[in-house]
Amino acid sequence: MERSTVHLLHKRGKSQREIASELGRSRSAVARALSEPVDRQSSGRRRKSSVDAFREQIAEWLKQGLSGVRMMELAREDPDHPYGGCGSVWRAAVRRERLSGLHEQAVADVPIRFEGLPGEYLQVDWGEIRHFPFTQQQPVTRYFLACRLKYSRWTWVMFTSEMRQETLFRGLVACFNALGFVPWVLVFDLYRGGSYAEKAATVSSRTSRTSA
């Protein structure tokens, strides 16, 4: 059973009993799925190592720029609990801590992405290409309506000659047909047709409730 489906149905206001009936599962299974994160990862078992006591110290030594050899020398000279393991285990531990630190730094440097459950958010944007090239006529400005699912990065694009409310609605209907379903929420950036976004979101909400 997909936990994301359970979470999405629950977010849409359905009770645990209704979700269990719709998915053909027990109510206890639905309750258990709701108590777990959507992207739960299995925790693998790892045997304790004599290096574990030095993990925080290794991270500090890495910040100081010490080499793995020097770290092991200091660990073996520790007066309270000297390291007595082999060098390969120590080097592997230092490598893990170094990669972990690099990963944390990379995550901190990347902007936080706005994500939702699968099929929940559809981002809608207008765009334009100036001097759009044609083979048998002069280049002109062409607009396009781009829709992207926030979770899967699925993208749909439709070129138009203008940005009107009717064009937006027709484009959204074509996008929904290509998707095969209506996303729960439409996400719009600020643009000249901001009022269109409010009306389109209303249309999407009504359509979603009708199709649910």
Q: Say what the pLDDT of residue 113 is.
A: 57
| β pairing state of 185-188 and 121-132 | parallel
Q: Say what the pLDDT of residue 197 is.
A: 47
Q: Say what the pLDDT of residue 170 is.
A: 92
Tell me whether residue 86 is exposed, middle or buried, using C-beta atoms within 10 angstroms of its C-beta: 0 to 12, 13 to 18, 19 or more. exposed
Q: What are phi and psi of 16, to 5 degrees?
A: -60, -35
- Per-residue model confidence as pLDDT tens digits over 64-107: 999 989 999 999 998 888 888 888 888 888 988 888 888 777 76
* DSSP string for 112-166: PP---STTTEEEEEEEEEEEE--SSS--EEEEEEEEEETTT--EEEEEES---HH
User: Please, what is the end-to-end C-alpha distance for the chain in angstroms?
Assistant: 19
Residues of the chain predicted below pLDDT 70: 1-2, 39-47, 107-116, 190-212
CA distance 80 to 193: 69
Q: Say what the pLDDT of residue 107 is.
A: 63
Q: Say what the pLDDT of residue 172 is.
A: 93
Distance of CA 7 to the CA centre of its chain: 15
> Residue 110 in 3-state DSSP?
coil
Q: Say what the pLDDT of residue 111 is.
A: 59
- Write down the residue that tokens 């729960």 correspond to: 184
CA distance 107 to 9: 30
Note whether 148 and 123 are within 8 A (CB): yes
Strand order in the sheet with 140-149: 155-160, 140-149, 121-132, 185-188
Q: Say what the pLDDT of residue 39 is.
A: 64
